[in-house]
Structure 1
Amino acid sequence: MKDIRIAAAIFHSAAPDIQKNMERMTEMVLAARSRGAHLICFPEMNICGYSSRPDIKTVAETVPGPVSEAISRLARREDIVILAGMAEKGDRGALFVSHLAAFPDGGLGVYRKVHIAPPEQGVFTPGNAVPVFELAEIRFGIQLCYDAHFPDLSTLMAQKGADVIFMPHASPRGTPEEKYRSWRRHLPARAFDNSLFVIACNQAGENSNGLYFPGIALAIDPSGNIIGKDLSGREGMLLADLSAAAMERVRGHKMRFFLPNRRQGLYERARGGD
């Protein structure tokens, strides 16, 4: 990988005011770019606001569609990668919790949440793909909120070459400090075990769906150390410089980089009952 500055947005999503959210996103994209960021990550479902109620389908859109096209135009105009969340309308009535990856060259990727949390089941459909995206010499994956509790997903992304995993959340309840203590239990482990950076951010404040989100963002290095945090609880932006040297200190050390010694074949045989 190469050195890169990223921005993790703590974002107050007005549900379901897509136009207002898009206007505020544009302001934050401009601010991130002016401060040297090459990528900005917004929280889960920040474009439409988070809801696990069936009426979320009224603000769902297809990809491509008006929202994804607007995000793509913004990424091209400002020369920055934008990761942003929405409710996506799929085929045959499927509804996905999706995150767009819009690139300055016009490329557009989509990650669909793989693990649907119990309150979301029956409304959203789980995705079945684990893409890894590329920006110059950086490869990254995206996980959404509940996804982060499943270690195998992070390992699969690492095996596909991810240097960074972005973990946008729409995680309600509690104070920022309580959310920080919760994230400290598992997010550093995802970084440490897989020798990669983890960047997480949450929505902030109350939305019109009756939920309150403690605003928080974290940046974690491949050794599992926290290299940046914002526990203010307010809308804002965490900037983090992801260092190629920090990555090399881990992946270039045979006793610190665990992944090459993982016995994939053994696990596959064990699952088969051998």
Structure 2
Amino acid sequence: MRIGACQTPEILGDVDASLRVIREFADAGDVDLLLFPECFLQGYLVTEQHVREHALELDSAVLTELAGIRPTVVLGMIEREGDRYFNTAAVVRDGRVVGRYRKTFLVPGESVFTAGDDYPVFECGGMLFGINICYDAQFPAAAAGVAANGGQVLLLPAQNMMRRDKAFEWQHRHNAIRAERARETGMWLASADVTGERGDDRIGLGPTCFLNPAGEVIAQVPAGRSGMVVAEI
């Protein structure tokens, strides 16, 4: 399975722009699966106003616009189901949602979301993959849930647009935590994150990368740059 992990600019509230970025990455490399950051489709801004205004149901016609893209797309989005909202990663094939994972470990600022409660796995290129989202990586139980269901690859959409002091403090800690999950479970791990700046006080440094089951970084997009790294698992 060839995976492309995409480090993208942050896009807030502009779904059409997000879809264009997805198509650009799909045209840029010959891969079986493309991984995008946490809540990438509508942008990670967890105010009630943003979530309520931009949330989409999984059967939204918006996602059908990805029809014709060959790779499976794992896409962070803000999901609405009835009167509940979820921080979700949708698994999309040819414009059709074939599954989803809902973030199970929410940070205190994500009270607008409902936590998920399962760790599904999906097949692609003869491999089984599962998903954790960003803060999930700090909890061994989330990765263990994927491994227990047969996962061989763990995908981690993330969104680390942080205050500048925190961004540089955490720049190298993210992969140290993810390496623990890889070693504990024996899974490969791929992450996708945003880059760029939000106003004067926030910056996104990634990392978007691949870790092998020994927890070693084998490929990474340079900090502060948009781009894609590809690994064959």
42-51 vs 102-111, which moves further: 102-111
Distance across 1 between alignment mates of 2:172 and 2:31:
27
Q: Verify the 8 A CA contact 1:215 1:235 in the aligned structure 2.
A: no
Alpha-carbon distance change, 178 to 228 in structure 1, aligned in 2, over 3 angstroms: farther
SS in structure 2 at match of 1:10? strand
Q: Verify the 8 A CA contact 1:218 1:229 in the aligned structure 2.
A: yes
Measure how far apart 1:107 and its partner are.
Answer: 5.4
The 5 A counterparts of 1:6-85 are: 6-32=3-29, 36-56=30-50, 57-71=52-66, 73=67, 77-85=68-76
Q: Does 1:110 align with 2:137?
A: no
Which of 123, 130, 134 is residue 123 of structure 2 equivalent to? 134
SS in structure 2 at match of 1:109? strand
Distance across 2 between alignment mates of 1:41 and 1:151:
21
Distance across 2 between alignment mates of 1:97 and 1:191:
23
Distance across 2 between alignment mates of 1:215 and 1:224:
17
SS in structure 2 at match of 1:15? coil
Distance across 1 between alignment mates of 2:154 and 2:12:
26
Q: Normalising by the residue count of structure 1, what TM-score does the alignment of the two structures yield?
A: 0.78
Alpha-carbon distance change, 41 to 149 in structure 1, aligned in 2, over 3 angstroms: same
Measure how far apart 1:118 and its partner are.
Answer: 0.9
Aligned letter for 1:172?
M
The structure whose residues are more often helix, as a share, is: 1
Measure how far apart 1:106 and its partner are.
Answer: 4.6
- For residues 118-143 of structure 1, the C-alpha deviation after alignment (integer angstroms, 9 at most, x for no partner) is 1112x111112211111141100111
Measure how far apart 1:177 and its partner are.
Answer: 6.1
Q: 2:152 maps to what in 1? A: 163
Distance across 2 between alignment mates of 1:109 and 1:168:
15
Q: Normalising by the residue count of structure 2, what TM-score does the alignment of the two structures yield?
A: 0.91
Unpaired segments ≥5 residues, structure 2: none
Q: 2:186 maps to what in 1? A: 195
Alpha-carbon distance change, 16 to 107 in structure 1, aligned in 2, over 3 angstroms: closer
Distance across 2 between alignment mates of 1:46 and 1:106:
18
SS in structure 1 at match of 2:11? coil
The structure whose residues are more often strand, as a share, is: 2
Distance across 1 between alignment mates of 2:202 and 2:81:
26
Q: Verify the 8 A CA contact 1:10 1:234 in the aligned structure 2.
A: yes
Measure how far apart 1:103 and its partner are.
Answer: 2.3
Aligned letter for 1:48?
Q
Measure how far apart 1:109 and its partner are.
Answer: 1.0
Identity between Structure 1 and Structure 2 (%): 26
